[in-house]
Amino acid sequence: MSQPTAPAPEDLATLAVKTLKFLAIDGVEKAFSGHPGLPMGAADMAFVLWSRYLRHDPADPHWADRDRFVLSPGHGSMLLYALLHLSGYDLTLDDLKSFRQWGSRTPGHPEAHLTPGVECTTGPLGQGFANGVGMALAAQMTQANYPGLYHHRIWGIVSDGDMMEGISHEAASLAGHLQLGNLVYLYDDNKITLDGALGDTMSEDVAARFAAYGWHVQRVDGHDHAAIAAAIDGAVAQGVKPSLILCRTHIGNGAPNKHDTHKVHGEPLGPTEMEATRKALGWPTDKTFWVPDAVKALWHTRAEAMASEHAAWRAHELRWMAEHPGLSERYVSTRDRVVPTDLLAQLAAAAPAQTDATRSLAGAIEQRVAELVPSFAGGDADLGGSTKTPIKASGKISATDFSGRNIRFGIREHAMGAIANGMALYGHHIPFTATFLTFSDYMRPAIRLAALTGTRVIHVFTHDSIFLGEDGPTHQAVEHVAALRLIPNVDVWRPADAVECAAAWAGAIQRTDGPSEIVLSRQKVAMPTSPTRPGDAARGGYVRVRESGGAPDVVFLATGSETGLAEEAARVLKAEGLRVRVVSMPCIEVFARQDGDYRASVLPPQGVRVSVEAGRTDGWWRWVGEHGLPIGIDGFGASAPAEVLAEKYGLTAKQVAGRVREFLGR
Amino acid sequence: MSQPTAPAPEDLATLAVKTLKFLAIDGVEKAFSGHPGLPMGAADMAFVLWSRYLRHDPADPHWADRDRFVLSPGHGSMLLYALLHLSGYDLTLDDLKSFRQWGSRTPGHPEAHLTPGVECTTGPLGQGFANGVGMALAAQMTQANYPGLYHHRIWGIVSDGDMMEGISHEAASLAGHLQLGNLVYLYDDNKITLDGALGDTMSEDVAARFAAYGWHVQRVDGHDHAAIAAAIDGAVAQGVKPSLILCRTHIGNGAPNKHDTHKVHGEPLGPTEMEATRKALGWPTDKTFWVPDAVKALWHTRAEAMASEHAAWRAHELRWMAEHPGLSERYVSTRDRVVPTDLLAQLAAAAPAQTDATRSLAGAIEQRVAELVPSFAGGDADLGGSTKTPIKASGKISATDFSGRNIRFGIREHAMGAIANGMALYGHHIPFTATFLTFSDYMRPAIRLAALTGTRVIHVFTHDSIFLGEDGPTHQAVEHVAALRLIPNVDVWRPADAVECAAAWAGAIQRTDGPSEIVLSRQKVAMPTSPTRPGDAARGGYVRVRESGGAPDVVFLATGSETGLAEEAARVLKAEGLRVRVVSMPCIEVFARQDGDYRASVLPPQGVRVSVEAGRTDGWWRWVGEHGLPIGIDGFGASAPAEVLAEKYGLTAKQVAGRVREFLGR
């Protein structure tokens, strides 16, 4: 790690901070929409951090050894955009002037996939906090495996809202447990929320709380540059604990009438207060989006220094690779997240020949994923024994050993999701998480952000229906598969057998532009009537059992454990002389992306379509049509053994065949 | 409050604790499924609490002045069932023997709607913790409004898993802020989780953390009855802070080989260890589900004492009502959650005549709800200025004044949902919550439990589509309306105008068997072409604009802000000579519950059906049929002004009319 740059002369620092404030004020004012208060209050700490500590190269936002910066309160986005612009990222003044407009790279809240230099998408509070923990964890894991190569840190600004959200507790507790000494958060402690004074809703001692988590905690005046720098130096110097610096700030600092009030939180200052602020801070009233030359020069100097750092590191990387011939290949493979092109074939070859619960089948195949894909790592929320996801050949991550690939997230599903997002955004990792399907509800905000950001994260969800049995309706997923399918840009796999499990893993690993869910049964599934072909399964939907003698009377569409059920019901109906096709649909989204000819070859116009899935039927109408029959479960489950539930909920082969017969009027 | 009962003689206490342990062991063993570890480890603290402190009347589980007990780690359900049976609730030994079986009242995790004496449904960790906070808050509010009438407390057992979940942070922070001195939690500090040692995943100092929240914190040996009792006495004596008693326990206490290991957490002891445990504790090996007579007598004595308490309170209630004639009527009205039978008409009369955003229209009508329904109370997650939900005629709840009806939950959506559940389960309240629709994802586990338990809670969600505009896709709901509709037993209202807002409020308030969501726009909606009739709106779907001259060519189905859009598109198409009907569907679930004749009168077989809703279309296929046209948004939104987004996403009247025209091939 480099030494901090010397502080700028006081006058220049003051000018630079004002520039940040007015870029934010002007951006919000021009958009007639936004949050000026946070940028104004946090400009000092952001200036100190970005001008002296943050090690990055604006010319290459993907430099692997860069520091990461997270703005967890994403509503302060104009501060981040101003910093990126001034630092020299590919973000112009015109971009700043297009704040919150259609097609701009400066949306209301920062979006990682849109804007160079934005490390993660933030806005929903608490997510950024946990993303940063994920980045710090990923950095520790990478540094443990490739010692001496990287020297970066994870920095962030966090807010009252982050502190109140439960996810901050989960992430902070785990960060303290794992002693992530490479993580430094500046807490914008401004005592104001959108609706009023923080004291109206919160009176906890945040410093004591974080000390209880095992964090290094300091308090400073958030407008005193020397104090902020000293605290950052202190955080870095101790180096073994994650660090929280409580920066007492004044929201809207500089606005003579609105500062320290919630009026400056979520709306433009307005012309009158903007004028008053310009006067109070001695800023030209006839210029907007103005950057004084001295401030430009300051950031330019910083960018040049950073370019040198980057160049030096490039040389260091080459040297390191030469000195570590044994590690280099694996290093490049993880850095570039290399995946074998024949992954599907290799995983299909590893598919168990005997059937079992899909959680067990997928767990066995996952071991092969871990062998073939070195950047694959992850863990579970205290259910590894049940989800079958721990990587057997690898060790557990702990505060004293980050070299393994198994992360024990604890009973912290929401943070698990957001930490996995942070790991994926950090790079070097294709992360996975695992828990019961019903707890996907706890993770939903994180899954949504992975989808929005196009982040490759894999969520394994087991115990995927009422057929988990005795644990009862609190633990029985009914609506969750359908609800996951509703989030845009999510692939939801619910495999029916070992080969489909292989296809799910291959699809999830090879997909680079969004998250995949792998949904698995607790109970054993049936063996397919004839062997599943990997290429079929990989198309998301295929003919599993073909009718004989003319167009089908009935076309079953099924997923997961109900595919075997549909096959069995088909046998009953075939014996009665019906022509029955069974279509397996392990991933509706992938199937929907196939060309029309293929889709029509799987789902012909003839025949009554019957979907069978042990969950909500709502989404199936699209596929069965208004004259079709969706069979599923539209209410809650119950506590009883699985075989009893099958009977009670009409999901035995005999009952399904009976319903189809009745529906056909036979 | 009554004085604690004197402790039982030591021999008898030991026998009673063993009885609890073996009822749990035998129940789990018979079911071949369950969690014996927690009941064995927590039997001591549960015995002390239930035999000496818990003030309740097993003969009347609904006694208003009873103490509430929450078992937050619901997987320890056999402990609760054993306590309920022994205490004298209507739960027999045969019920205990049916643990986890179809139709039993002893499901895998406790379900409040099934089993007398179970105050809330628990299992998904952290929910019970926050439910208890909601009960304690509701009790403070009730006691502030009806001073001197009630004297109960809220007790609970909480676990490691609860402590790790983020929701416990949110709820504990708020409980500390509000100084809920009537709440006492015993923390089963057993250092073991399902997958192994707690120390593998957590090392925070829980005592220091809770002290930071403003809780009263004590530590005791969780198997030392005198120490537990002393700590409870201490918690009660201080009286002004919520109290956490860390009880150091040994999971599976009494099992000679498996105690203190995770092997005893989630599966039966097995015959060998069960035998060994019987021997070690001197319990008959030839008896299962055995309750020694002395133990029966102990609980019988307790029940008699409690019956006397209850009878005394009944007399006290009558005296109190006589002494407080002014308060009595309101007391009965809140206690019984009385709702005017003509609520719909009264709310419709209060509907603003001018149009506005539905959040503003609903907010205005809500003020009338507050006047008419005294048990109505709730709050928002720091967005009251935007959701328009605060009750104007009432004050804010604070640690020093619980007499108001507005709760400021802080930026704690998940706890807000679970606290509202707790308030509703406590009684006396019809609670509401409010935040942006996108944050419904943060609350989903709590909404699900309200639905499962059949709890009347009202969730107001505003800013319900991409039309919130500049805040961008992180804040723009796309899939959320559809995702809420997937949870069984939830009514989702998305009103289109003031009268539909009145119908939504009336429906939500009058529904007694589950939660209702009221989903509202940020932006202004159109005035209806002709005045909406309240009775139509209350049916969940109705003909808003009727075609003229024969069967319709086109039937629009729309909700919320898109109903006006459909009306405008209909005008365009009518001008071109088409016969167009517009059906407004403010609540699909309520519409689906109407009789078939009515539904057919609204949705005739003729005409192409076109749904218009600014969100995922998946659920609409059921209503438009495979030859219909669902218009919506199946990807993420973007940051831009609302009117720009309407154009870009094809949701102007001209564009919608054009798509219909194209679809009809004209």
CB contact under 8 A, B640 and A487: no
- Per-residue pLDDT tens over the stretch B560-574: 999 999 999 999 999
Joined together, the tokens standing for residue B284 give: 């008959």
User: Closest Cα of chain A to B316: distance in Å?
Assistant: 36
Instruction: Note the ipTM here.
Output: 0.98
3-state secondary structure labels for all residues of B542-562: EEEECCCCCCCCEEEEECCHH
Q: What is the dihedral of CA B287, B293, B295, B297, to 10 degrees?
A: 160
Question: How many CA within 13 A on the CB side of residue A289?
Answer: 16
Instruction: Please provide the average confidence, as pLDDT, over all residues in chain B.
Output: 97
Query: Residues B573, B545: contact at Cβ < 8 Å?
Result: no
Of A111, A396, A488, the CB nearest to B635: A488
Query: Is residue B51 a contact partner of residue B302, using CB atoms and an 8 Å limit?
Result: yes
**3-class SS shares of chain A: helix, strand, coil, % to 5:** 45, 15, 40
Alpha-carbon span B233 to B54, nearest angstrom: 12
Give the gap in angstroms from C-alpha A434 to the nearest C-alpha of chain B. Answer: 13
Nearest to A232 by CA among A303, A288, A199, A184: A184
List C-alpha distances in Å: A606 to A169, A544, A583, A601, A603: 55, 17, 14, 11, 8
Q: Phi first, then psi: what are they for A183, rounded to 5°?
A: -115, 125
In chain A, residues with a C-beta closer than 8 Å to the C-beta of B474 are: 74, 108-109, 111, 121-124, 449, 452
Please report residues of A whose CB lies closer than 8 A to that of B485. Answer: 618
Report DSSP letters for B339-368, one per residue: --TTHHHHHHHTS-SS--BHHHHHHHHHHH
Tell whether B286 lies on the interface with A, counting CB pairs under 8 A. no
pLDDT surpasses 90 at A7: no
Q: Which residue has the tokens 């871990």?
A: A370
Tell me the C-alpha distance between A90 and A115, whole Å. 8
User: Which SS3 state, helix, strand or coil, does residue A214 take?
Assistant: coil
Within the 192-211 window of chain A, which residues sit less than 8 Å (CB to CB) from chain B?
193-195, 200-209, 211
Helix, coil or strand: residue A267: coil
> Apex CA B619: angle with CA B614 and CA B625, to 5°?
105
pLDDT, mean of residues B175-203: 95
DSSP calls for B201-268: T----HHHHHHHTT-EEEEEETT-HHHHHHHHHHHHHH-SS-EEEEEE--TTTT-TTTTTSGGGTSS-
Catalytic residue among A119, A273, A366, A413: A413
What are A295's two structure tokens?
């401030």
**DSSP type of residue A51:** I
CA dist., res. A245 & res. A46, Å (int): 13
Residue B159 CA to residue B38 CA, distance in Å, equals: 9
Model confidence at B634: pLDDT above 60: yes
Judged by CB atoms closer than 8 Å, whether chains meet at B204 and A195 is answered as no
pLDDT level of residue B9 (50, 70, 90 thresholds): confident
Check residue A2 and report its DSSP letter.
P
Interface contact flag, A474 B124, Cβ < 8 Å: yes
The alpha-carbon radius of gyration of chain B (Å, integer) is 28
Q: Which two tokens stand for residue B600?
A: 């057919």
* Residue A114, CB-side half-sphere exposure with 13 Å CA sphere: 22
Evaluate whether B637 touches B472 at the Cβ level (below 8 Å): yes
- What does each C-alpha distance from B130 to A279, A553, B71 come to in angstroms? 49, 53, 11
Digit-coded pLDDT (tens) for B312-342: 999 999 999 999 999 999 999 999 999 999 9
To the nearest whole Å, the CA of A172 is away from the closest chain B CA by: 10
Q: Give the integer Cα–Cα distance in Å for A246 and A249.
A: 9
Q: What is the pLDDT of residue B1?
A: 47
Q: For residue B2, is pLDDT > 70?
A: no
Q: What's the half-sphere exposure (Cβ side, CA atoms, 13 Å) at B562?
A: 30
The CA distances from residue A214 to A180, B150, B209, B400, B453, in Å, are: 10, 42, 11, 33, 38
3-state secondary structure of B245: strand
CB pairs under 8 A between A and B: 326
Please write down the HEC assignment for all residues of A611-634: EECCCCCHHHHHHHCCCCEEECCC
Mutate to test the interface with A, among B195, B484, B593, B603 (most CBs of A within 10 A): B195
What separation in angstroms does the CA of B440 have from each of A496, B448, B461, B515, B519?
32, 11, 7, 13, 10
- Say which of A412, A448, A488 has its CB closest to residue B634: A488
Mean pLDDT of A557-567: 98
Which residues does chain A have within 8 Å of residue B444's beta carbon, measured at their own beta carbons?
441-442, 444
Beta bridge pairs of residue A491: A516
Q: DSSP code of A461? A: E
Q: Which amino acid is at B384?
A: G
Contact map slice: A 526-565 vs B, CB within 8 A: none
DSSP conformation class of B427: S
Choose the mutation target among A486, A489, A589, A611 for the interface with B, i.e. most B CBs under 10 Å.
A486
- Token pair of B153 as six digits: 């407390």
pLDDT of amino acid A2: 59
Asked if A486's CB is within 8 angstroms of B482's CB, the reply is yes
The answer to whether the beta carbons of residues B126 and B161 sit under 8 Å apart is yes
- What positions of B carry a catalytic annotation? 413
Three-state DSSP state, A216: strand
Which whole-number Å values give the CA distances from B30 to B23, B99, B271, in the listed order? Answer: 10, 8, 11
The Cα–Cα gap between A474 and A459 comes to 20
Pairwise CA distance, residues B201 & B180, whole Å: 30
Q: Tens digits of per-residue pLDDT, B395-449?
A: 999 999 999 999 999 999 999 999 999 999 999 999 999 999 999 999 999 999 9
Residues of A in contact with B636 (CB under 8 A): 451-452, 488-489
The CA distance from B189 to A597, in Å, is: 60
Partners of A581 in beta bridges:
A555
Residue A611 has pLDDT above 70, yes or no: yes
CB B412 within 8 A of CB A164: yes
Percent of chain B past pLDDT 90, that is, above it, reads 96
Instruction: Name the minimum distance, in Å, from the CA of B14 to any CA of chain A.
Output: 30
- Average pLDDT of every residue of chain A: 97
What tens digit of pLDDT does each residue of B362-374 get?
999 999 999 999 9
User: How large is the average pLDDT for residues B252-269?
Assistant: 92
Task: Say yes or no for a CB contact (<8 Å) between B641 and A101.
Answer: yes
pLDDT in tens, A446-470: 999 999 999 999 999 999 999 999 9
| pLDDT value of position A556 | 98
For residue A266, the model assigns a pLDDT of 87
Residue A411: φ, ψ to 5°: -85, 70
What are the C-alpha distances in Å from B368 to residues A453, B33, B473, B505?
A: 43, 51, 34, 10
B578 C-beta neighbours (distance < 10 Å), count: 19
For residue B251 the two structure tokens come to: 């999971």
pLDDT tens by residue, B520-547: 999 999 999 899 999 999 999 999 999 9
User: Is A408 touching B (CB cutoff 8 A)?
Assistant: yes
Q: Using CB atoms, which residue from B103, B108, B479 is nearest to A486?
A: B479
- Identify which of A164, A200, A640 has the shortest CB distance to residue B412: A164
pLDDT (tens digit per residue) in A391-440: 999 999 999 999 999 999 999 999 999 999 999 999 999 999 999 999 99
| Three-class secondary structure of residue A581 per DSSP | strand
For residue B327, give the amino acid letter.
L
DSSP 3-state assignment of B166?
helix
Distance from CA of A484 to the nearest CA of B (A): 8
Tell me if A492 sits within 8 A of A588, measured CB to CB: yes
Q: Put residue B88 in one of left, alpha, beta given phi > 0 → left and psi -120 to 50 → alpha.
A: left
**What is d(CA B337, CA B429) in angstroms, rounded to the nearest whole number?**
7
